[in-house]
Amino acid sequence: MKKGDHLFLVDGSGYIFRAYHALPPLTRKSDGLPVGAVSGFCNMLWKLVSEARDTSVGVTPTHFAVIFDHSSKTFRNELYPEYKANRSAPPEDLVPQFAVIREATRAFDLPCIEMEGFEADDLIATYARLAREAGADVTVISSDKDLMQLVGPQVSMYDSMKDRQIGVPEVIEKWGVPPEKMIDLQALTGDSVDNVPGIPGIGPKTAAQLIEQFGDLDTLLERAGEIKQNKRRENIVEFADKARISRELVRLRDDVEVSEKLGELVLNPLNGPKLVAFLKGMEFTSLTRRVADATDTDASAVDAADVAVDAAAEMRGPDLDPGDAANAAVTATGQNDDTPQGLAKRRAAEAGSAKIDTTAYETLSDIEQLKAWCAMARETGVVAFDTETTSLDAMQAELVGFSLAVPEAAPDTGELKVRACYAPLAHSNGVGDLLGGGGLQPGQMPVRAALDELKALLEEPAVLKIGQNLKYDMLVMAQHNIEIKSFDDTMLLSYVLDAGQGGHGMDALSERWLGHKTIGYKDVTGSGKSAIPFAQVAIDKATAYAAEDAEVTLRLWHALKVRLVSEGMTSVYERLERPLAPVLMRMEQRGIRVDRQILSRLSGELAQGAAALEAEIQELAGENFNVGSPKQLGEILFDKMSLPGGSKTKTGQWSTSAQALEDLAAAGHELPRKIVDWRQLTKLKSTYTDALPGFINPETKRVHTSFAMAATTTGRLSSSDPNIQNIPVRTAEGRKIRTAFVAEPGNVLISADYSQIELRVLAHVANIPQLTQAFADGVDIHAMTASEMFGVPIEGMPSEVRRRAKAINFGIIYGISAFGLANQLSIERSEAGDYIRKYFERFPGIKDYMDATKAEAKENGYVTTIFGRRAHYPEIRSSNPQVRAFNERAAINAPIQGSAADIIRRAMVRMEPALEAAGMQARMLLQVHDELIFETAEADADKIIPVIVEVMENAAMPAIDMAVPLQVDARAAKNWDQAH
């Protein structure tokens, strides 16, 4: 920085409060996030930076920074513990805006500066001094009197709200003393807001007069005896010390060791699209337009930005206790409490307020009734929707009926009133004869006409559809060419808010939040052998069951949706959960081709191999027994044959785990080896080659897995019916199963997987320089670890050394214990402990990360991914050491596993639009935690792979700029084994 340069320093914290109080209260984004202060702040910044570029205005900044207070604790508290002690907490609807405002600053591409232990004013003073010494001019954007001591020939202030320049004459005019005497003046007057004592009875006028008379504070205190007024003289003598302390409190530190140097504050050209994206995300329409115009940005071509994830972290309010919340009466403060927390509390009470009456539902028997309900839903703009079908398998399910629920417009009684109905469409008579299930039950409307009405409602973007696990209903409706536009999903809401706090199924949520036990599916259909299809349930019973589900769903939404804002989870829900549902729906709908012949052939081979082994096993055992029974096997091995080294499971049975059998085999016994081999073959046969063909859909001839979005605590998906996330890959035998997952003729499968994503996430979150460097250099990460730990050069490293380092790396991710590592490596626990100590010595950041994560989990009851997702561990404070240790390990693992899960979710949400934008015909079929499988025409594969890789490698951006690059390997082939 040099002479002629001009530094603008914005007092960000001061500005936040002014913007907050200047603007109408409770300006909210459509999702309820309060944004009044953010809006005021953005308008002010925009005014500053746009005028700054207007050279017709006299002052043009070359450098710019926005300075914030870091926290309420500063060095001043050590000088004087009462400093700012009477400050009340900021208003609750302002709290979530602090982080958003920092995000806003970054969206303007401006340095956003704060430092622990110092106030914004100290940083401003420091930068002002540095700039002054470099010969530059400074303008402090603030009207705070605390900063006026900085004013001088090169430094002025600017009150942007009053559009007023504050220089030396203005300070003298206002306070009666020049800027350099402001410290003494404030020392005398004190400050009731900041709890700076000063001297009683002395206000600004008297103080100015005294300073005028004596020159400065020290002289005044020395010669206080000369003051004529008795009371004033006594006070000055008595409170001289208080004045001296006050002087130190108001004197700004201009020697802070600032992290950003002056040169880094250079004002860069504005990034139009980046700022427009942010403003659009905040729904500031007129400012968005102004900025777009001024920067020549096409606002319609810019996607609204990710809501700041850092914001989410700071937005957490007091966690609601779900059990209490359900029964909580509206508290005295809750009644008029317009904070997000107050609203959430009220809504929870309202949702569970009314007794649910399952006899009060309407059954819709003709199309006019349905039309009336659709009109009602359009009126309210919100409708809960649920389908009833013939099957849990959405791909084979036939629609039997559907239910709707709407909130009733009612004055603010503190109760939620709901109307619900059921529209039966295909209920048949149970009197099934050999020709089929009998005729239709009476009182049902024509299906065709009903679906037309329903389609118009579900596809109407202005009506919010609410469902519980809507992915299922989407899949069912997709069979009828109906898309559900504009929706919320109570299961996903619960998952985002309460992952780890229990199940997210409707029955569990209803009990937890509404204190209501729903009618069970089995209560209407019966169970086991006497179960009847839902289509044969009597319509009145079906109405009670189905409409209740819609009512409960609507009530749950009422209670849960508002918690997104009060708990700072909006961005997780809106970016990582809700948009993924339709993506997964389409993946499930597409399915993947599985070659029946290949499986059948494999099954035969496996059967032969297993039979041969079984015969040898019986021979060696000397008797016929059930080889698949661990109980019988344990008795043969350890009781009958008396092999040594047997251990017991927790139920007292002999353990026959693969590890135990391997140990026996290593000791030279023949039988255990054969058991291990037999188990591998029978496992592959029963779980894969025999079971998979049963999942081939007769219509599509493909296998359609079901992805569960709310099954894990960490944010991973799970897969079932069949589980395609545990198809064998480690052994050559097992990999043969993968050759049966094939592309259609003329197509290929593409497999794209993240390389070492969890270790990369670890390097990022724990900030480990060696790991970061190794990934940047692209070196073998396990070899690097081994080299650091054991001092072995990477070149020519023995594979055993690398293997151990690899196990330790994984162990770290899993929240390592000496016990676990010892088991994994088959070494002594003491030796494993030595390894761990060594690791922590070489990578001390890892230990810090683990300790900090444990502490965070204990403090909050949850841990957080880099995108703000929370995983709760309510048992982490357990007095049982085993339970506690387990929860600690899980809590250490969750941010790593969960962040990786978030990254691939982001990639999946962006993938389809990206492929489309690139003009690519490729269909995403499967997700296996760090891998995505696509199918595409063979000729297109080479063009598509770079698009896929690009989306996956940049999936964390722009929310998180990772310290480590993400690497994706992708390959195309005819089957999954070759593509992987």
Q: Which of residues 835-894 bind DNA (CB under 7 A)?
A: 886, 889-890, 893-894
Of 91, 579, 734, 833, the one binding DNA (CB under 7 A) is 734
Binding flag, residue 555, DNA (CB under 7 A)? no
Whether 455 and 562 have beta carbons less than 8 Å apart is answered as no
Q: From the list 624, 720, 773, 921, which residue makes contact with DNA (rule: CB under 7 A)? A: 720
Nearer CB in complex with DNA: 190/728:
728
Identity of the residue, 270 or 956, whose beta carbon is nearer to DNA in the bound complex: 956
DSSP 649: -
Tell which positions 931-960 bind DNA, by CB under 7 A.
931
Q: Is 440 exposed, middle or buried (0-12, 13-18, 19+ CB in 10 A)?
A: middle
Among 163, 650, 777, 799, binds DNA (CB under 7 A): 650
Q: Which is nearer to DNA, 152 or 630 (CB)?
A: 630
> Residue 798 is encoded by which pair of tokens?
């023995």
Name the one range near DNA by CB under 7 A: 336-344, 418-426, 628-636, 843-851. Answer: 628-636
518, 712, 787, 865: residue in contact with DNA (rule CB under 7 A)? 712
Question: How many chain residues bind DNA (CB under 7 A)?
Answer: 73
Q: 3-state class of 24 per DSSP? A: coil
Whether the CB-CB separation of 27 and 39 falls below 8 Å is answered with: yes
Tell me if 800 contacts DNA by CB under 7 A.
no
Nearer to DNA, 86 or 723 (CB): 723
CB of 467 to DNA, least distance (A): 20
Give, as ranges, the residues between 6 and 65 that touch DNA (CB under 7 A). none
Query: Both tokens of residue 855?
Result: 């502490």
Residue 816 binds DNA, judged by CB under 7 A: yes
> Is 658 a binder of DNA (CB under 7 A)?
yes
Q: What is the distance in angstroms between the CA of the first residue and the CA of the last residue of the chain?
A: 54
β partners of residue 741: 594
821 forms part of the interface with DNA (CB under 7 A): yes
Part of the chain binding DNA (CB under 7 A), chosen from 201-209, 512-520, 621-629, 950-958? 621-629
| 732 touching DNA, by CB under 7 A | no
* Using rule CB under 7 A, residue 72 touches DNA: no
How far is Cα 688 from Cα 706, in angstroms, rounded to an integer?
A: 16
Sorted by sequence, the CB contacts under 8 Å of residue 199 that are 6+ apart come out as: 188, 189, 190, 235, 236, 239, 242, 243
Whether residue 125 contacts residue 5, with contact meaning beta carbons closer than 8 Å, is answered with no
* H/E stretch holding 969: strand 968-973
Q: What single-letter DSSP state applies at residue 635? A: I
Q: Does residue 704 touch DNA according to CB under 7 A? A: no
Q: Which of 198, 407, 722, 861 binds DNA (CB under 7 A)?
A: 722
CB 751 to DNA: min, Å: 10
- Tell me which of 687, 755, 770, 967 binds DNA, using CB under 7 A: 687
Which residues in the 518-537 window bind DNA by CB under 7 A? 527-529
- Site membership for DNA, residue 929 (CB under 7 A): yes
Cα separations in angstroms, 135 against 489, 785, 802: 60, 50, 58
- Should residue 729 be labelled a site residue for DNA when binding is judged by CB under 7 A? yes
Task: Using the rule CB under 7 A, give the single segment among 145-153, 570-578, 676-684, 739-747 that binds DNA.
Answer: 676-684
144 binds DNA (CB under 7 A): no
Q: Is 339 in the site for DNA (CB under 7 A)?
A: no
Output the six-digit token pair for 436: 């089929």
Q: Which is nearer to DNA, 80 or 886 (CB)?
A: 886
Q: Which residues pair with 159 in a beta bridge?
A: 164
Q: How far is the CB of 793 from DNA (least distance, A)?
A: 23
Beta strands 718-720 and 922-927: pairing type? unpaired
Q: How far is the CB of 843 from DNA (least distance, A)?
A: 15
- Shortest distance in whole angstroms from residue 820 CB to DNA: 2
CB of 957 to DNA, least distance (A): 21
Asked whether 625 and 773 are in contact (CB, 8 A), the reply is no
Select the span of 150-158, 503-511, 687-695, 781-789 touching DNA (CB under 7 A): 687-695
Residue 421 near DNA by CB under 7 A: no
Residue 925: which of 748, 757, 758 has the closest Cα?
Answer: 748
- In the complex, the smallest distance separating the C-beta of residue 722 from DNA, rounded to whole angstroms, is 5
- Residue 455 CB-density burial (10 A; 0-12 exposed, 13-18 middle, 19+ buried): middle
* Cβ nearer to DNA, comparing 25 with 505: 505
- 814 forms part of the interface with DNA (CB under 7 A): yes
Contact indicator for 357, 515 with CB cutoff of 8 Å = no
Residue 811 binds DNA, judged by CB under 7 A: yes
Among 268, 300, 626, 879, binds DNA (CB under 7 A): 626
How big is the CA angle at 490 (ends 485 and 495), to the nearest 5 degrees?
120
Stretch that binds DNA, among 33-41, 370-378, 727-735, 790-798 (CB under 7 A): 727-735
Min dist CB 909 to DNA, Å, is 18
Report yes or no: 858 and 876 within 8 Å, Cβ to Cβ: yes
Render 418-470 in DSSP notation, one character per residue.
EEEEEEE-S-B-S--BTTBS--BPSS---HHHHHHHHHHHHT-TTSEEEESSH
Q: Quick count: other Cβ atoms within 10 Å of Cβ 49?
A: 20
Instruction: Please confirm whether the linkage preceding 958 is cis (ω < 30° from 0).
Output: yes
Question: Whole-angstrom Cα distance, residue 459 to residue 698?
Answer: 29
Q: Which is nearer to DNA, 217 or 709 (CB)?
A: 709
Interatomic CA distance for residues 704 and 697, integer angstroms: 7
Q: Which is nearer to DNA, 90 or 693 (CB)?
A: 693
DSSP 497-543: HHTTSS--SHHHHIIIII--PPPPHHHHH--GGG---GGGS-HHHHH
Residue in 536, 897, 899, 975 binding DNA, rule: CB under 7 A: 897
Under the binding rule (CB under 7 A), the answer on residue 651 touching DNA is yes
Q: Give yes or no for a contact between 157 and 151, defined as CB atoms under 8 angstroms apart.
A: yes
Torsion-angle region of residue 847: left (phi > 0), alpha (psi -120 to 50) or beta? Answer: alpha
Stretch that binds DNA, among 259-267, 298-306, 723-731, 941-949 (CB under 7 A): 723-731
Name the residue nearer to DNA (CB basis): 162 or 730: 730
Q: Phi/psi of residue 424, each to 5°?
A: -75, 140
* Position among 117, 204, 273, 820 found at the interface with DNA (CB under 7 A): 820
Of residues 315 and 710, the one with the C-beta less far from DNA: 710
User: Binding to DNA by residue 75, rule CB under 7 A?
Assistant: no
Least separation in angstroms between CB 65 and DNA = 42
- Which span (33-41, 44-52, 110-118, 714-722) binds DNA, by CB under 7 A? 714-722
What number of H helices and E strands is found in the chain? 42, 23
Residue with tokens 């290949």: 598
Q: Quick one: which of 632, 739, 755, 770 contacts DNA (CB under 7 A)?
A: 632
Among 213, 286, 723, 826, binds DNA (CB under 7 A): 723
Quick check: 824 binds DNA (CB under 7 A)? Answer: yes
Interface with DNA by CB under 7 A: which range of 361-369, 785-793, 802-810, 954-962? 802-810
CA distances from 944 to 256, 597, 679, 917, 924 (A): 52, 30, 41, 12, 12
The answer for residues whose C-beta is within 8 angstroms of residue 255's C-beta and 6 or more apart is 126, 129
Q: Which of 808, 850, 876, 956 binds DNA (CB under 7 A)?
A: 808
| The binder of DNA chosen from 815, 845, 868, 895 (CB under 7 A) | 815
Binding of residue 609 to DNA (CB under 7 A): no
In angstroms, give the least distance from the CB of 674 to DNA. Answer: 12
